[in-house]
Copies of this chain bind each other. A is one copy, B any other.
């Protein structure tokens, strides 16, 4: 980071405005403004996450003005609670406000943002209830409060509204709207004060980029994190797991890391974090044997400490008043509690070779996590603790690996604002394939990653369709903890499942670059169609049906683009679901091509595709460039030099960039990385590709380069 900006940022963030004047917006980073209202509490989401803004990257984004009329923003403390109001225009749609599973546009909805398991309704109780929204008008709003916020996203209507709804008589007007038009977002923060951030665009994507960069940029996983992972049944022993690894090899199936489930603990729910001597008599030897086979181990845990755990006496005074399954809830806002966990985890797991964690049960369910009446020794309230617990466990565990200069990539059930840079993917116990895709899309608005994990299926078709989706997500995971399913559980589609898993392996250069841009530019690697620049998906989809005098969100909801998303710079993914032989796909402006054949499929239009069972529909934009490697079952190590296949689609020239580094350490932060420029130019009626590599010592695709022009002239 540019030292000047770092100092400027520290200076600016030190200023806090306790006045009620809502107009005190201070620019804290390029295109990002902050205001404070009331007495600012010690605990906030961003402070819990602790990320440092990437000001250098933010400087690269276009200059923007403050995006809202300040006189229509209101930040007030009323009766000990913060009331916030931000204006809305008729045409705006709102995205974000947490990890939703059934809806995209949140305008017209009410969210009670509360870290919790997802209960089947998009009501704000979810695994990542991030209090951040982006508008189609090209800006974002973040409320940095570790509280249960109530967000009226265009529902509350003031007597003195700037743009009031039509008055209608239900007795006589059949168009009477139960939910009239509202010209504002209003938010109740049950706290004496809070800080609020506004992110400029000018596009939705730019606002999202600013949000992610302000939170340190997106996470760059280790390369092995982008390989395939299997979680084994809960009581598998070391030898069961080694046999599982051998079975994967026998089936010629990709496997980079394996999830070790609760049985590794000497007691679980709550946990000891100590290896069970019966199932894992020699953890170090077991982990070494795994590594010899090229496989890493990810350990399941929940952070609640069993009375049988050796840390219990020391942690007890550093814990909350209430238990979770008889386990202590450590107060991780206390340095000493973090240190005790760090010492134990480092000695017993990380130094033995464990590659990461699956952090379970930090979300809720109210009936077993600590209640809101719990107290903690630091004075942090139960409510604040609920909102930040997932953030804190992500942050501390990630730091432990970072201190070893080893990247990790794990799973977490709860996250929140400020998490963009955390190497964790959110998951849950819900299991709707379609809603998993909705969540994957929504994750791109709020700076988290999501995996539509596969567990079981009733039919081979469902199995294959789910496997195809998860291979086009941040983590390609089969979670067999409960029933021991394998990728080859449905032999009739084993080849097709293997093919899509290996396709993911082949796409490593493309996918890793997408994550590199997440880190360095804040662009989510998997993202909503609404984040396609220079296009208005909303209005294209809405057509002429909108009556802005009437319930507009109803219209919006019915017109959402569902179940398709962008991956990286050039690709569009349109998963198939069981029972569907065809589907429609909305193509952004410009020409689009079939990934598999290079054939032209359409331009800025809605197409219907009828892929076979063996294919997940994938499309590439005109001029799109997709670098790939050969099929393999484990991601390349730091010293492997590989050949590269670079595909080009369409008939237009194009350019792209390809990122590389050692794939496992943080040396990239000290310059040990490389960007290659990929260019396709037209020479006569021929297309020709060229690659220019910066810092070739950190670039591993040097053995040979094969340009493939997928689209016939």
Residue positions of A touching B, CB distance < 8 A: 78-80, 83, 85, 108-110, 150, 152, 155-161, 164-165, 167-171, 176, 178-180, 186-188, 190, 234-235, 262-263, 265, 267-269, 276, 306-308, 316, 319-323, 325-326, 328, 366-368, 370-375, 379, 381
A159 with B322: CB separation less than 8 A: yes
B169 with A322: CB separation less than 8 A: no
Contact for A170 among B109, B169, B262, B307, CB less than 8 A: B262
Contact for A234 among B78, B152, B160, B171, CB less than 8 A: B171
A387 to chain B, nearest CB (A): 15
> Of A159, A186, A370, which is in contact with the most chain B CB atoms at under 10 Å from its CB?
A159
Minimal Cβ-Cβ distance residue in B for A152: B371
A274 to chain B, nearest CB (A): 12
Contact for A159 among B80, B160, B188, B316, CB less than 8 A: B316
| Given A85-B373, A367-B110: A167 in contact with B326 (beta carbons within 8 A) | yes
Contact for A171 among B110, B268, B372, CB less than 8 A: B268
Interface SS, A side: loop
Given contacts A159-B323, A164-B326, A186-B371, 5 further A-B contacts (CB under 8 A): A150-B371, A155-B367, A158-B321, A159-B321, A159-B322
Taking CB atoms, residues of chain B closer than 8 Å to A276 are: 171
Contact for A373 among B188, B267, B321, B370, CB less than 8 A: B188
> Of A187, A328, A372, which is in contact with the most chain B CB atoms at under 10 Å from its CB?
A372
B367 with A179: CB separation less than 8 A: yes
Taking CB atoms, residues of chain B closer than 8 Å to A186 are: 371, 373
B178 with A367: CB separation less than 8 A: yes
| Given A235-B171, A307-B167: A373 in contact with B152 (beta carbons within 8 A) | yes
> Of A178, A322, A381, which is in contact with the most chain B CB atoms at under 10 Å from its CB?
A322
| Given A80-B80, A159-B321, A319-B159: A187 in contact with B373 (beta carbons within 8 A) | yes
| Given A150-B372, A155-B371, A186-B371: A262 in contact with B110 (beta carbons within 8 A) | no
Minimal Cβ-Cβ distance residue in B for A263: B171
A269 with B176: CB separation less than 8 A: yes
Taking CB atoms, residues of chain B closer than 8 Å to A80 are: 80
The list of the 8 closest CB pairs from A to B, nearest first, reads A156-B371, A170-B269, A169-B267, A186-B373, A83-B373, A152-B371, A167-B326, A188-B372
State A263–B172 Cα separation when bound (angstroms).
9
Taking CB atoms, residues of chain B closer than 8 Å to A368 are: 178-179
Taking CB atoms, residues of chain B closer than 8 Å to A152 are: 371, 373
Contact for A262 among B83, B171, B178, CB less than 8 A: B171
Taking CB atoms, residues of chain B closer than 8 Å to A367 are: 108-110, 155, 178-179
A377 to chain B, nearest CB (A): 11
5 A-B interface contacts by CB (under 8 A): A150-B372, A159-B316, A167-B306, A168-B325, A190-B190
| Given A159-B319, A268-B169: A79 in contact with B110 (beta carbons within 8 A) | no
Taking CB atoms, residues of chain B closer than 8 Å to A169 are: 267-269
